[in-house]
Every structure is written in C-alpha cells, then in structure tokens.
Amino acid sequence: MKKLDDYRLLIKTKEYIPIMIGGMGVDISTPAMALEGARLGGIAHLSDALICAVSDRYLKTSYVKNRFAKNKASAHLNNKAFAQFDLQEVADATRNLVSSTMEKKKGPGDIFINLMEKLTMNNPRETLQARLIGALDGGIDGISLGAGLHLSSFDLMKDHPRFRDVKLGIIVSSQRALKLFLKRTARLKRYPDFIVVEGPLAGGHLGFGLDDWFKYDLKTITLEVMELLKNESLNIPVIPAGGIFTGSDAVNLIEAGASAVQVATRFTVTKESGLPDKAKQAYFEAKEEDIVVNLVSPTGYPMRMLTQSPCIGAGTKPNCESMGYILDREGDCSYIEAYRQAKEQQPDNISVKDKTCLCTQMRGYNTWTCGHLTSRLKETSQRADDGIYRQLTTEEVFNDYRYGTGQ
C-alpha cells in the first residue's frame, strides 16, 4: 500500500515531503509548529492574523497597548475610522515575527506565512501591502494568499526585489476564483508557484455559502482546478485542503493528480499548537453534532466552529481602539452595530447572538474554529484516567500522515 512518503512536492526547484501545515490563527500555528514542519521536510505556516498582538506575545513589543492609548479618547464613537493602523508598525511587526522565526529554522523544509485579504484593518490595500512587504523583508520562504480573491496582491509586491524568487501561492475554493486571479497575474508575467484548493470541510472561514457548502466536494473542485491549469498550459502544483484526516486520504488525492496536501485540524491539538489546553480538550471531546457552520464572523464569510465556543452569544464590548483588524475602509464592522442593538435591548445583560467580536475573541482563544472532522481527533490520542487526552507532538502527527496507511 502506498504511503505519502512515496511522493514528493516540487515548488520551483525545491523538493518537499508533500505535507503542508495550514496557517491557523490567531497564533495556533505558532513559530514552534512552523519550525517543526520545516525541520521535518515539509512546509508549515505562520499566520498573519492579529499580527501586532502576536508580535507583542513573542517579541515583547507594545503595539496593542500603544494603539489603545492613541485611540481611547474616541472610544465612545460608533464609527471607528479614526482608529488607523500605523503602516510602519504593521510592517515591522510582520518582519520581526518572521525574521525571529526564520533565524531558528533548521532542516530541509520551508516556512510560509498565510496572509489574509479579509483582514481589512481600516485601510485594506495599504495594510495588506505592509504585511506583504514585511514578510518579504523578514525572509519568509513563501506566502499563501488567503481569505479573499487577492486580485491586486501581486501588484502590491511587484517592486520588491524578492517578488520573482519567493514562493507565492493562492488559496481558492473554486475554478472561477482561480481564473480571475490568473487573469490578473498574467499581466505581470508572474504566475503563482502553487495553488491551495480549500474544500468545504475545512476549518474556520469558508469560501462557500452557508446553505450550500455541503453540496461541494474537495476532489471535484481539485480536478476542476487542474483542468483549468491544463487548458491554460500552466504547470503549477495543486494542493487540496480540508477534510484530509489520514495519510491514506492524502494518497488518494495525490493519485488523482494533486501534488501535495494541506492539513491543519490534527495539528490544532499538538503540543506546539498555541491553543490553551482547555480548548484542546474541548476539541478532543467534540461530537459530530458539536461542529457547526454559522455566520457569527463579521467578515461575512461562513465559519466552522464548535458550538461550545465561548465567543458565541458573548456580549464583548467592541475593542477596535486596540485591535480593529476587521474594520472596513469606512471604519465599520458589523459587530459594532450588533453590539449596539443588543445593548439597547438588554443593557444590563448584553448578549450578541448573531455576531462575535472576532478580534477580541480570537486573541483570547475563545473562538474555537475547527475542521469538519474534529470529532475524530479522539481516535488519534489516548485518554488518561483523569479524563485528559494526551497531546501528540507536531512530529508525531506529521509522521502519521507521512507513513500511515490507515483510514
């Protein structure tokens, strides 16, 4: 029986074990996890979610504190257009987090960063460019462009000296999205070096509708993407993601023509994961019916999470003065209005049912996003007499994918 280790992924001229650990925010994909993935010969991601707050956590900077001090006098205003990010600070936070990780990198693999377009940060184009340039300056091996169409992202990097050499990829959920992206990048004569196809069973935000995600199939979308590339005479590695729980699952997709797989859910509960132990145990204990797709994210994207997530129904006061990563260019976020209405209805017991303050709740690890197959995590561990499930290491999970043949 074939194993994932029987194959190799080639991006540009570099060869990898065909395992890509997806970018999970906020700081679930820790530097420690990324370093392990690279050491083992695969590709592992950092995440740019709440990059300034993550910098404060690891590098002892004070971006969040200083941002609040700057904006607190205007905190009473419903519109948050005043709460602009300092672009140099955003670039510095990204560059320094990346460089501090890259300095420790060992082994034959690479470290990428997942950069999300939907983190609009009150100034979508300029803050995205600051993060892109910061990552490139920090020496990142590659960038995966996610949570959006990224039609202008290559333009934002085109003048950087590393633009042609760094490994750049796009995360899509349909052939149509990829077609739009390729049309734009063709103008620069700079195509992506890899394509991640994220299917409907992935964790977190989804590129599908709330009412129809279950009608789609990862393998079908992957084949459609490969057909498009063939018709365009483009030889670009395609990497499916979402619902790939075992090495055998991965082999089936590679046998169908994929170049590698991106996996994440099983790494959320590893020792290197940034999730607190309480959350990891909730993932292990989850039942199939505990996993839901809802619209509580103010981004407008459906999001898969555990129903036990503390963020659901919380009455958190908007914290845009210190955070504000979802603010649009007008200084608005759908959670602000949802909170205002909930406060008017029950000022002494505020509970926002239909939205969540994503920045604050994800920073506090209270938004328990998860993959569709999270209820199977208990199959991968042992439960001690005290009821606590053992956390595997990133290496153990990686090697189970690499060498495993079970279903």
**Residue 159 confidence (pLDDT) above 90:** yes
pLDDT score at 292: 97
Strand-strand pairing, 110-116 and 43-47: parallel
Indicate if the pLDDT at residue 270 is higher than 80: yes
Tokens of 394: 């990133």
H-helix or E-strand containing 344?
A: helix 334-345
Helix ranges (DSSP H) in 47-169? 51-59, 63-71, 87-102, 124-137, 153-157
- Predicted confidence band at 218 (pLDDT cuts at 50, 70, 90)? very high
pTM here is: 0.96
* Angle formed by the axes of helices 51-59 and 87-102, nearest 10°: 50
- Would residue 397 count as lying in a domain? yes
Q: How confident is the model at residue 336 (pLDDT cuts 50, 70, 90)?
A: very high
pLDDT at residue number 17: 98
Q: Would residue 23 count as lying in a domain?
A: yes
| Inside any domain, residue 156 | yes
How would you write 235-285 as a 3-class SS string? CCCEEEECCCCCHHHHHHHHHCCCCCEEECHHHCCCCCCCCCHHHHHHHHH
147: exposed, middle or buried (C-beta count within 10 Å: 0-12, 13-18, 19+)? buried
* 239 found inside a domain: yes
Please check the confidence at residue 407 and state whether its pLDDT lies above 80.
no
Task: Say how many domains are in the chain.
Answer: 1
- Look at residue 394 and tell me if it is in a domain: yes
Has residue 250 been placed in a domain? Answer: yes
* Residue type at 68 in one-letter notation: F
43, pLDDT greater than 90: yes
Give the pLDDT score at 4: 97
Give 75's pLDDT tier (boundaries 50, 70, 90).
Answer: confident
Is residue 1 predicted with pLDDT exceeding 90?
no
Alpha helices in 346-391 (DSSP H): 358-363
Give dist(CA 263, CA 254) in Å, integer: 14
Q: What is the pLDDT of residues 76-119, one digit of tens each?
A: 888 899 999 999 999 999 999 999 999 999 999 999 999 999 99
Tell me the percentage of the chain whose pLDDT exceeds 70. Answer: 100
- Average pLDDT (294-305) is 95
**Residue 244, domain extent:** 4-274+390-403
- Flag whether 251 is in a domain: yes
> What is the pLDDT, as a whole number, of residue 78?
84
Please state whether beta strands 9-11 and 14-16 pair in parallel, antiparallel, or not at all (unpaired).
Answer: antiparallel
Whole-number Cα distances in Å, 363 to 103, 202, 394: 25, 21, 22
What is the average per-residue pLDDT within 293-298? Answer: 96
> What percentage of the chain reaches a pLDDT higher than 90?
95
CB 321 within 8 A of CB 72: yes
Q: Is pLDDT above 80 for 311?
A: yes
- What mean pLDDT do residues 324-332 have? 93
Q: Is the pLDDT of residue 405 over 90?
A: no
Q: Which residues pair with 21 in a beta bridge?
A: 44, 263
CA torsion angle 17 284 114 205 (round to 10): 130
Do residues 83 and 321 touch, judged by C-beta distance below 8 A? yes
User: Taking the mean position of all CA atoms in its chain, how far away is CA 200?
Assistant: 15
pLDDT at 400 over 90: yes
d(CA 7, CA 175): 25
Overall average pLDDT of the 181-189 stretch: 94
Instruction: Say whether 239 sits in a helix, a strand or coil.
Output: strand
**Average of per-residue pLDDT values in the chain:** 96
Residue with tokens 């530097």, as numbered in its chain = 31
Distance from C-alpha of 157 to C-alpha of 132, rounded to nearest angstrom: 7
Q: Which CATH number goes with the domain that contains 31?
A: 3.20.20.70
**Cis amide linkage into residue 225, ω under 30° from 0:** no
- 346 domain residue, yes or no: no
**Spatial CA neighbour of 16 closest among 141, 191, 156, 198:** 141
**Residue 68: count of CB within 10 angstroms of its CB:** 17
C-alpha distances in angstroms, 308 versus 292, 367, 376? 10, 9, 17
